[in-house]
Amino acid sequence: MKRIGLIVLAMVAIAFFVTPVCVAQSSSLVTINGYVYSGALPMGGAKVQIYSWDGKNMGNTPLKTVTTKDSSPGVGSFTFTNVPYDSSKTFNYVVMASKNDGTAYALVHIVPPETSTETAKAEPIYLDLAMDSWVTDLTGTVQSGNLLANAIGIQKANVTIYERNQTDGSVLPGIKASAVTDSNGKFEVKNLPYGLYEAVVTANVNNNNYIEKVDFTTYQQETHINAIMSQIMLATPTPTPAAKPSGSGGGLFGIPGFEAVLALVALSGTALFLRKR
């Protein structure tokens, strides 16, 4: 009987401690904010719905439905509050916006907290009913390691993009896309499917080879990344002053301001002559 009593007490204790854990897990909630556009115009009155996402497919039934604001301030904006999330999954939900004949989709990207004092947050979503969905237009800049204000774009850098596993973040074999930076260090890759990626940037500067890696996530129709080549320090070019035309601004006999000196002497002589008279 004593053993049975101890077992019952142990079960009660386990139930007492397990319940708060379950409550804490169920209280992992985020707020999802976003805007709906059509081209450059914010779209008020658009229907926005959130669906579950299993990693490959969206659910059949919307979990919540809201309508974008149709008056200022915040025309075209929408909000989903108290949305639970599973921190073990990269993407939990799909957001679909529609109005008239336009439809756009985005995955919900939730950034988990890095410290105990932080909370998880959902990245803002921008949906354009005039653009293709499920793919992103990726733009990026490759810069030198100078302070951001003095950073210089690195031209002719090679950008190779690899897909990453959504479960453990490991880099998958095979090149997904590639690009070369222009004279300002900018590059562009169109129609990159939503997912996790790593950009490997290689640059040859002053006959030295450098490499930088940037992990990023694409979950909506436009994405921008910056790759800072921390080992490359390029001097900010100093503007060269324009050469002055020959004989202009140099003064008589090439002495700057010589005419002004002659004018002062002439005025002084005139004043002295008039005073003597």
What are φ and ψ of residue 223, in 5° steps? -140, 140
pLDDT of residue 251 exceeding 90: no
So what's the architecture of 26-128 in CATH? Answer: Sandwich (2.60)
Q: Where are the beta strands (DSSP E) in 74-207?
A: 77-84, 91-99, 102-111, 121-122, 125-128, 135-144, 158-164, 171-180, 186-193, 195-205
Q: What is the pLDDT of residue 116?
A: 84
Is residue 155 within 8 A of residue 183, CB to CB? The reply is yes
Query: CA 142, 146, 147: angle at the middle one, nearest 5?
Result: 105
pLDDT of residue 68 exceeding 90: yes
pLDDT of residue 151 exceeding 50: yes
Confidence of residue 113 (pLDDT cuts 50, 70, 90): confident
Q: Which residue has the tokens 């005419």?
A: 259
Q: What is the pLDDT of residue 121?
A: 93
pLDDT of residue 259 exceeding 80: no
Looking at residues 230-246, what average pLDDT do you find? 69
Confidence of residue 149 (pLDDT cuts 50, 70, 90): confident
Strands 41-42 and 135-144: unpaired
Q: How many residues does the chain have?
A: 277
pLDDT of residue 267 exceeding 90: no
What pTM was estimated for this model as a whole?
A: 0.74
Domain parsing of the chain, residue ranges: 26-128, 135-229
Confidence of residue 255 (pLDDT cuts 50, 70, 90): low
So what's the architecture of 135-229 in CATH? Answer: Sandwich (2.60)
Confidence of residue 22 (pLDDT cuts 50, 70, 90): very low
pLDDT of residue 10 exceeding 80: no
